[in-house]
Amino acid sequence: MSKRPEWLDNAVFYEIYPQSFKDTDGDGIGNISGITEKLPYIKDLGCNAIWINPCFDSPFGDAGYDVSDYLKVAPRYGTNEDLINLFDKAHSMGLHVILDLVPGHTSWEHPWFKESMKAERNEFTDRYVWTDSVWEEPEGYGSLRGISDRDGSCAVNFFTHQPALNYGFYKPNRPWQQPTDSEGAIATREALKDIMRFWLSKGCDGFRVDMAGSLVKNDEDGKGTIALWNNIFEFLDKEFPEAAMVSEWGEPRLSLAGGFHMDFLLHFGESHYNDLFRCERPFFEGLGDASEFVKKYKDSRARSGGKGLICIPSGNHDMDRLAKHIHRERLKLAFAFLLSAPGAPYIYYGDEIGMNYVEGLKSVEGGYGRTGSRSPMQWDKSKNAGFSSAPSEKLYIPIDPSPDRPDVTSQLGDEKSLLNEVKKLIALRLKYKPLQSLGNIDFVCDGAPGNPLAYIRSLDGERIFVAINPANDPAEIKVNIPAAFNEIIYQSGNGGNFSGNICRVEARSAVWLRERDRG
């Protein structure tokens, strides 16, 4: 792992899907100027860092994850100068901004791919993963073929229009599979560095890296991809040591070995993340079991050697909204966990007000079932919920039609609202260092059926006990530690307290207890 930028130690991120955050020019699509306009809101919420989903030029077959020009802001969002202005304004307010980097594939409209399709050999012939014959598809991947004069099939990473970039094969087993030290693979890696160099020099504070573990193919236990990122981090540590790098990998032991400062727990794979938030019986809805999540989480921390940060987001653009599965006051309990866990928390725009997953929407830009989690931010009760002045039929995605949909203005005026609860939780996290990214975590109760989730956060001799009970009945936890946790710094519902070595947590409640000096 490369040296971690110090600003990550207390970072609380706000994730923005730019299409749906704030439209300032009335075309029905959010833009960079809209994000800049709302920086005071993000600052007031308590977040001190922002992750912006892809904002580069694209045909938008996959909401910008199909890039056609890495060095140009998509015109519908504004200009490069608008993004640089956003960096400057954010920095003046003490906020950091990371961009979404998509290194594994481009759009099939990218100039690199158009050149690679040519039969004549050129600079970009080996920029993508091509077989030698149109009759042979790359095993284990979808492909594009019969689309140009070039003989061969090109591997795709996700949708058909997203050809896979070539970083080489860790174990080549076909003539067309180039090794990781081939000229083509190295050229792709260096082009990635140039993209990063361009935006970091403009004021970007780092990147969230899409599908970061997918770059090298035929990769035994991620060894080739780890080596690739180690090489990239040598460049970053030399030229941009304060750049933060966050991986979408889902295997902290691998991503942190590659040099990343943080890794997300994903909503798929073995993390059991969705046991907590998104399943038939979510733990935070008072129905389920958190124990497998705790077991995997402890294993991931141990296998990564305690290095780096494992991050737990409220959600993102690829998941159902948090409020689809967790309801009413229990949303506060979910945030009591998210904002007291190690690693930097990520709040997906609108989750802080409990925005709904909008059912039955037609797919927009490759969203399909994800489209309902990408509806416009709800700022107030005015036209289009304050998102845009455009006619409603021109909106990028329709506004949630629910008559009781939540909005920022209404919740700011309600001291018991979810928004004000989230603000309170963030403020406490920033006040007490054990609750921040680097604080250790020791689980006391693993949230098995009928049990709450409880743990001790500690740093530099200071300890805070966190207990969360989303069930309909009170719970008691026997804690074999001195009963010094007697200062309540936060509670939701009816909270809880210690009596001797027993912590009682009331039904549908959470409590954070700080250890006072035993003397």
pLDDT one-digit tens code per residue, 299-337: 988 888 776 788 999 999 999 999 999 999 999 999 999
Packing angle, helices 330-338 and 418-431, rounded to 10: 20
Say if residue 518's pLDDT is above 60: no
Contact assessment for residue 94 and residue 149, using Cβ atoms and an 8 Å cutoff:
no
Say if residue 294's pLDDT is above 50: yes
What mean pLDDT comes out for the span 408-416?
Answer: 98
What pLDDT, on the 0 to 100 scale, is given for residue 4? 87
Say if residue 219's pLDDT is above 90: yes
What pLDDT, on the 0 to 100 scale, is given for residue 309? 81
What pTM did the predictor assign?
A: 0.97
Say if residue 34's pLDDT is above 60: yes
What pLDDT, on the 0 to 100 scale, is given for residue 482? 60
Task: Provide, rounded to the nearest whole percent, the portion of the chain with pLDDT above 70.
Answer: 98
Q: Among positive and negative, which fits the CA dihedral 307, 15, 324, 380?
A: positive
> Domains in the chain, ordered, with CATH?
6-103+185-429 (3.20.20.80), 105-166 (3.90.400.10), 440-515 (2.60.40.1180)
In whole angstroms, give the CA distance from residue 442 to residue 78: 46
The DSSP string of 442-494 is: EEEEE--TT--EEEEEEETTEEEEEEEE-SSS-EEEE--S-S-EEEEEEEETT
Rounded to an integer, what is the distance from CA 160 to the centroid of its chain? 24
What pLDDT, on the 0 to 100 scale, is given for residue 1? 59
Confidence of residue 516 (pLDDT cuts 50, 70, 90): confident
Closest listed residue to residue 110, CA positions, set 159, 157, 56: 56
Confidence of residue 517 (pLDDT cuts 50, 70, 90): low
Secondary structure class of 85 (helix, strand, coil):
helix
Rounded to an integer, what is the distance from CA 390 to the centroid of its chain? 29
Contact assessment for residue 80 and residue 46, using Cβ atoms and an 8 Å cutoff:
no
In whole angstroms, give the CA distance from residue 103 to residue 195: 10
What mean pLDDT comes out for the span 92-112?
Answer: 98
Task: Provide, rounded to the nearest whole percent, the portion of the chain with pLDDT above 90.
Answer: 89
In whole angstroms, give the CA distance from residue 156 to residue 70: 18
CA distances from 315 to 120, 189, 357 (A): 46, 30, 11
Say if residue 148's pLDDT is above 70: yes
What type of residue is 266? L
In whole angstroms, give the CA distance from residue 387 to residue 376: 6
In whole angstroms, give the CA distance from residue 215 to residue 505: 46
What mean pLDDT comes out for the span 162-176?
Answer: 97
What pLDDT, on the 0 to 100 scale, is given for residue 268? 75
What mean pLDDT comes out for the span 151-177?
Answer: 97
User: Which positions ≥6 away from 253 have C-beta within 8 Å?
Assistant: 300, 303, 304
In whole angstroms, give the CA distance from residue 126 to residue 401: 49
Digit-coded pLDDT (tens) for 436-491:
999 999 999 999 998 999 999 999 999 999 999 999 999 999 888 766 888 999 99
Contact assessment for residue 314 and residue 338, using Cβ atoms and an 8 Å cutoff:
yes
Q: What's the distance, Cα to Cα, between the start and end of the chain in Å? A: 40
117 exposure class (CB count in 10 Å sphere: 0-12, 13-18, 19+):
buried
Q: Among positive and negative, which fits the CA dihedral 271, 277, 279, 282?
A: positive
What pLDDT, on the 0 to 100 scale, is given for residue 519? 45
Confidence of residue 237 (pLDDT cuts 50, 70, 90): very high
Across the beta sheet with 475-478, the strand order is: 475-478, 502-505, 496-499
C-alpha dihedral (337, 339, 343, 345), degrees to nearest 10: 110
Closest listed residue to residue 454, CA positions, set 390, 518, 509: 509
Mean pLDDT taken over the chain: 95
Confidence of residue 265 (pLDDT cuts 50, 70, 90): confident
Say if residue 53's pLDDT is above 60: yes
What pLDDT, on the 0 to 100 scale, is given for residue 250? 87
User: Which positions ≥6 away from 288 have C-beta within 8 Å?
Assistant: 275, 276, 279, 281, 282, 449
What pLDDT, on the 0 to 100 scale, is given for residue 61? 98
In whole angstroms, give the CA distance from residue 344 to residue 332: 18
